Amino acid sequence: MSVAEEAAAVGGTAAATKTTRGRLKAVIGGSVGNLIEWYDWYVYSSFSLYFASVFFPVGDQTTEFLYAAVVFSVGFIVRPVGSWLMGVYADRYGRRPALVLAMAVMGGSSLMIAFTPSYASIGIAAPILLMVARIAQGLSVGGEYAAVATYLSEIAGKERRGFYGSFQYVTLIAGQLLALLVLVALQHNLTPEELSDWGWRVPFAIGAVGALVAFWIQSSLEETESFKNMKKKRESAADTWQLMRSHPKELMFVLGMTMGGALGFYVFSNYMQKFLVNTSGFTKDDASLIMAMAMIVFMVAQPIMGWLSDKIGRKPMFVFYGIGATLMTFPVMNYLQTADSAMGAFLVISGALIIQSTYTSISGQYKAELFPTEIRALGVGLPYALGVAFIGGTAEAVALKLKQMGYETSFYWYVTFFMVIVLITAAMMPDTKRHSRIKED
């Protein structure tokens, strides 16, 4: 090898190392913001066990939980609006500015909840202010999902997109797990009365501070090459609608997968904590600990499944999820309904979440790979937010209402029905590992 060839080889190696380091830095930077964003989002659900009676003091636990769940669902209903606004913003001005804006909105709304007085202090204004804050959080999360999925998918190389992209849900779950761990810590250091009185406000304040740190980190992120290389700039909303109308199949694939995938996610990771308390009969402390341990298993499974998708493709993973989720939903929920063993509940929920990870680990990057750069963030975010708003995000409210009516097991079949839709969608869709629209690799 000549001196020139040797120098070129060394230079190529250095460039490759720099690229890898740059990607890792970008993935970490984008993921940190995602962690805080979803921590703020899930703190509401984790601590509604304690503040439901503060804002909705009706005297019946199931009804108080139901009212709190309705407010939680409102946050989901406005997520499509956030996805639309932030998707257009991210596709026009960049992925990084969208991430920063979403973080600012989330931090401000979390601070608002932390300082909202109780119903006993200001009456009906208390739940109204809570609703306003959740609407702001819904707008923020609606934009955050699309911006992060697009950013991580574009920043990752083709060969490791599944692995790198899985960190969207690693940090999403880490945010939910952090909310649970804060809950467990406060449960062990405060009395139930103190938690219901003022302790539930602490995690929202923590989230506001974390959002400020994440805002600073994301402000220094570099923009993706896909966005920088995009030559066609849209000048009006009509251009956006025209591009969206030209990809009807892709929009339906995202919607079909999201309805069941998001429903399964929120049932087994979010509603399950209340199900263990309100149906299975576990104490609040035990239910929180069971879910914290199961969420660790769920988080660890994400990069493993993402790596596997880089080897065998996205479509086989989704088909497996559709089959597994369809077959396991009713038996799992039926077992947990009368479960009296914490270890048994943990193992069964962990198994359900591992099956769920075959969807969550690759859902963001799959959706990003379907769309061209100029509408990628909007294409990822809008149909996803619609599926989450009307199916996934309402899971808790539907489950509690059916329980209140005396038809709790009907909810198990309700979830199973949407898993069948996932399976049908998975069988029809292309495998984007081999046919991706992300060209900058």
DSSP characters for 367-416? HHHHS-GGGHHHHHHHHHHHHIIIIITTHHHHHHHHHHHT-HHHHHHHHH
Residue 423 confidence (pLDDT): 96
For residue 437, count CB atoms less than 10 angstroms from its CB and return exposed for 0-12, middle for 13-18, buried for 19 or more: middle
pLDDT band (50, 70, 90) for residue 3? very low
pLDDT, mean over the chain: 83
Residue 20 confidence (pLDDT): 66
d(CA 56, CA 413): 30
pLDDT tops 90 at residue 114: yes
Place of tokens 């509604």: 48
pLDDT higher at 32 or 437: 32
Query: Which two structure tokens, joined as six digits, stand for 77?
Result: 């209903």
Query: Which two structure tokens, joined as six digits, stand for 211?
Result: 């959002």
pLDDT band (50, 70, 90) for residue 218? confident
- Pick from 375, 388, 98, 90: nearest CA to 248: 375
End-to-end CA distance of the chain: give it in Å, rounded.
29
pLDDT band (50, 70, 90) for residue 410? very high
pLDDT band (50, 70, 90) for residue 347? very high
pLDDT tops 50 at residue 435: yes
Residue 14 confidence (pLDDT): 39
Helix (H, G, I), strand (E, B) or coil at 111: helix
d(CA 98, CA 377): 10
Percent of the chain whose predicted confidence (pLDDT) is above 70: 87
Using an 8 Å Cβ cutoff, are 352 and 295 in contact?
no
For residue 21, count CB atoms less than 10 angstroms from its CB and return exposed for 0-12, middle for 13-18, buried for 19 or more: exposed
pLDDT band (50, 70, 90) for residue 16? very low
Query: Which two structure tokens, joined as six digits, stand for 223?
Result: 């923009």
Residue 9 confidence (pLDDT): 42
Residue 326 confidence (pLDDT): 97
pLDDT tops 60 at residue 119: yes
d(CA 105, CA 81): 14
User: If you ran DSSP here, which 8-state letter would residue 59 be given?
Assistant: S
Residue 250 confidence (pLDDT): 84
Residue 433 confidence (pLDDT): 65
pLDDT band (50, 70, 90) for residue 13? very low
Using an 8 Å Cβ cutoff, are 345 and 276 in contact?
yes
- Pick from 184, 167, 141: nearest CA to 299: 167
- Pick from 298, 287, 43: nearest CA to 178: 43
Residue 358 confidence (pLDDT): 96
Instruction: Name the range with the highest mean pLDDT among 177-186, 394-403, 414-423.
Output: 414-423
User: If you ran DSSP here, which 8-state letter would residue 191 be given?
Assistant: -
Positive or negative, the CA dihedral 180, 265, 213, 105 is negative
- Pick from 42, 33, 22: nearest CA to 291: 42
pLDDT tens digits for range 182-202: 988 998 899 888 998 899 999
d(CA 246, CA 238): 12
User: If you ran DSSP here, which 8-state letter would residue 435 be given?
Assistant: S
Q: Which of 164-168, 250-254, 354-358, 424-428 has the lowest mean pLDDT?
A: 164-168
Residue 2 confidence (pLDDT): 43
Query: Which two structure tokens, joined as six digits, stand for 399?
Result: 């489950």
pLDDT tops 80 at residue 129: yes
Domain 25-222+261-428 has CATH 1.20.1250.20: yes
pLDDT tens digits for range 271-323: 998 899 989 999 988 998 899 899 999 999 999 999 999 899 889 999 999 99
Question: How far from the centroid of its chain's Cα atoms is residue 225's Cα?
Answer: 25
Half-sphere exposure of 315 (CA within 13 A, CB side): 15
Question: How far from the centroid of its chain's Cα atoms is residue 141's Cα?
Answer: 8
d(CA 204, CA 154): 32
Question: How far from the centroid of its chain's Cα atoms is residue 355's Cα?
Answer: 16
d(CA 296, CA 298): 5
Residue 354 confidence (pLDDT): 97
Q: Indicate left, alpha or beta for 19 from its phi (over 0: left) and psi (-120 to 50: alpha).
A: alpha
pLDDT tops 90 at residue 163: no
- The ranges assigned to domains in the chain are 25-222+261-428
pLDDT tops 90 at residue 353: yes
C-alpha gyration radius of the chain: 22
* Average pLDDT of the residues in 69-97: 81
Q: Which residues of 191-214 are buried (b: 16+ CB within 10 A; e: fewer)?
A: eeeebbeebbbbbbebbbebbeeb
pLDDT tops 70 at residue 8: no
Report the run of H or E that residue 337 belongs to, with start and end.
helix 314-337
Residue 82 neighbours by CB under 8 Å, 6+ apart: 102, 138, 139, 140, 141, 142, 143, 385
pLDDT tops 60 at residue 216: yes
pLDDT higher at 8 or 384: 384
